[in-house]
Amino acid sequence: MTAIDRRAFLTASAASCAAWGLCLPRAVLAAESRCFVSACSDEDGNTLARVVTGDGRLLATLPLPERGHGAARRPGQREVVVFARRPGRFALAFDPLSAEPLRRFDAAAGRHFYGHGAFSPDGRWLFACENDYDNARGCIGVYDATVGYRREAELESHAIGPHEIVLLSDGRTLVVANGGIQTHPQAGRRKLNIDSMQPSLAYIDAASGALLHDHRLPAEMHQASIRHIAATANDVIGVAMQYEGPRNNLVPLVGFQHAEAEIVLPPSDAATLRSLQQYCGGAAMDASGQVLAASAPRGGNITFWSVARQCHLGSLALADGCGVAASGAPGGFLASSGYGRLVHHNALSGETTRLDDPAAAPVAWDNHLLALTL
């Protein structure tokens, strides 16, 4: 969209907003600027998705039927899909500038979403992590966005509990973090197989659903649930895990994986491990692919890791901080917390800026932030 088109659009949408008696957008995006989407919950317990600008100002708010989780941007379109938090069943496509809902679609019978999905580069196919709970089987629902998100196919995730999914730069290889934990909606969020869980990082051909290769941790680490992943432009995968084993057994929870190589868990000192409190909540790569952010909401820290050197760079204390997303600059991240904080931190310069929008009603930010450029 050219700048002129954009201006024309904004004028038109502002006019239609006014005509419908809605408020005008309080913040207006400059062309090509970055914004962020996150599910959240307001003080009355209403579940929402919010869009904020790079400097933290509220751009748009979308009510959600239930608590949301992750979101995916549809390439080539001004469109974002936000997913229900597991074991929820809704997904909602919306326009991030106006927060106008475009399409709601629900998980198929006998399936629920895990809360994450990824689009094909042409913006047509959406791959969503799903639970075939009666068969204790992980699967990837394939939706055609050009026909109202019709569910066209289902791929195996090749392990239990597919949670986060990314598409590699070839546009056809899916990488899926299979957390390994069996749940069933009738048992709420209860974990049913902690003793026998077998998480995996699966490389799957998006066209055929074939398992290309998968990666597991050594047997003594089978209770480290591979839950969140992020990829650099060169397809290095950053891994952030959650440990279900004995609480006094400190294990590394942040790792890297590339191509067909095994998962590498960089050794780190006990203090760093303790600061995670055995639980990572989210993963993101910075825009330059140099730094992995792994959030640890229980420990109240966002940790930063060098991709090249595969080591811990430093941490930012942020209580209940979970959402992380690249802010654009090398080393730069936006981070959000359940206490409503929004913070910009550059892991390379160490600079931290608080970004709360004092004019916006406070919310508890949900687990994940999505960065997108409009």
Partner 1 sequence: MFFERNLIPAAAALALAFGLTAPGARAQTEDYEALNAAIVESYVLPRYADFAQATKALDASLTQACADGRPTPAESAAAYHTAMDAWMAVQHLRFGPSELFLRAERIEFWPDKRGTVGRHLAQMTSEPKLEALEPQAFASGSVAVQGFPALERLLFDSEDADWATPFGCALTLAIGRNLNSIASDLLSDWRDGEDAYAGTVLGAAAGNDRYFDAKEAALDFAKSLRGALLLVGDYKLGRPLGDAPEAARTTRAESWRSARSLRNIKINLQAARALYEVGGESSLSSLARAHPQGAELDEVIRAALERLNAAAEAQPDSLVAALEVPEGWAQLDALRVETRRLLELLGGPFSEVLGLPMGFNSYDGD
If the CB atoms of residues 70 and 96 are measured against partner 1, the closer one turns out to be: 70
- Chain-centre distance for alpha carbon 232: 14
| Shortest distance, position 107 Cβ to partner 1, whole Å | 17
Report CA-CA distances (Å) from 350 to 303, 314, 346, 347, 353: 12, 9, 5, 5, 10
> Is 44 a binder of partner 1 (CB under 8 A)?
yes
> Is 341 a binder of partner 1 (CB under 8 A)?
yes
Instruction: Give the number of residues written for the chain.
Output: 374
Q: How far apart are CA 271 and CA 274, in angstroms?
A: 5
If the CB atoms of residues 14 and 192 are measured against partner 1, the closer one turns out to be: 192
If the CB atoms of residues 25 and 340 are measured against partner 1, the closer one turns out to be: 340
| Shortest distance, position 294 Cβ to partner 1, whole Å | 13
Residue pair 81/39 in contact (Cβ under 8 Å)? The answer is: no
Pick the binder of partner 1 from 27, 58, 192, 364 (CB under 8 A): 364
Size of the site for partner 1 (CB under 8 A): 46
Q: Which residue has 């398992």 as its token pair?
A: 211
If the CB atoms of residues 246 and 267 are measured against partner 1, the closer one turns out to be: 246
Sign of CA dihedral 361, 338, 287, 304: positive
**DSSP per residue, 88-112:** --EEEEEETTTTEEEEEEEPPTTEE
- Chain-centre distance for alpha carbon 358: 26
If the CB atoms of residues 57 and 86 are measured against partner 1, the closer one turns out to be: 86
Q: Cβ–Cβ contacts within 10 Å for residue 196, how many?
A: 11
If the CB atoms of residues 210 and 317 are measured against partner 1, the closer one turns out to be: 317
Residue pair 68/106 in contact (Cβ under 8 Å)? The answer is: no
> Is 248 a binder of partner 1 (CB under 8 A)?
yes
Contacts of partner 1 in 149-188 (CB under 8 A) = 181
272's enclosing H/E stretch is: helix 270-276
Contacts of partner 1 in 98-127 (CB under 8 A) = 115
Pick the binder of partner 1 from 157, 182, 278, 303 (CB under 8 A): 278
Q: How far apart are CA 156 and CA 152, in angstroms?
A: 14
Q: Which residues pair with 91 in a beta bridge?
A: 83, 105
> Is 223 a binder of partner 1 (CB under 8 A)?
no
Q: Which tokens is 99 given?
A: 């927060």
Query: Which range binds partner 1 by CB under 8 A, 119-127, 144-152, 251-259, 365-373?
Result: 365-373
Q: How far apart are CA 133 and CA 34, in angstroms?
A: 37
Q: How far apart are CA 62 and CA 80, in angstroms?
A: 11
> Is 55 a binder of partner 1 (CB under 8 A)?
no
> Is 309 a binder of partner 1 (CB under 8 A)?
no
- Chain-centre distance for alpha carbon 112: 17
Pick the binder of partner 1 from 5, 18, 339, 350 (CB under 8 A): 339
DSSP state of 75: T
Residue 87: cis peptide before it, omega within 30 degrees of 0: yes
| Shortest distance, position 73 Cβ to partner 1, whole Å | 20
> Is 35 a binder of partner 1 (CB under 8 A)?
no
Residue pair 164/70 in contact (Cβ under 8 Å)? The answer is: yes
Which of 245, 296, 241, 290 lies closest to 272, judged by CA?
A: 296
> Is 320 a binder of partner 1 (CB under 8 A)?
yes
> Is 297 a binder of partner 1 (CB under 8 A)?
yes
| Shortest distance, position 258 Cβ to partner 1, whole Å | 26
Query: Which range binds partner 1 by CB under 8 A, 97-105, 135-143, 251-259, 357-365?
Result: 357-365
Pick the binder of partner 1 from 69, 74, 89, 158 (CB under 8 A): 69
If the CB atoms of residues 157 and 278 are measured against partner 1, the closer one turns out to be: 278
Pick the binder of partner 1 from 47, 301, 315, 337 (CB under 8 A): 337
Q: Which chain residues interact with partner 1 by CB under 8 A?
A: 41, 43-45, 69, 85-86, 115, 181, 189, 191, 225, 227, 242, 246-249, 274, 277-279, 281, 297-298, 300, 317-323, 337-341, 343, 354, 361-362, 364-367
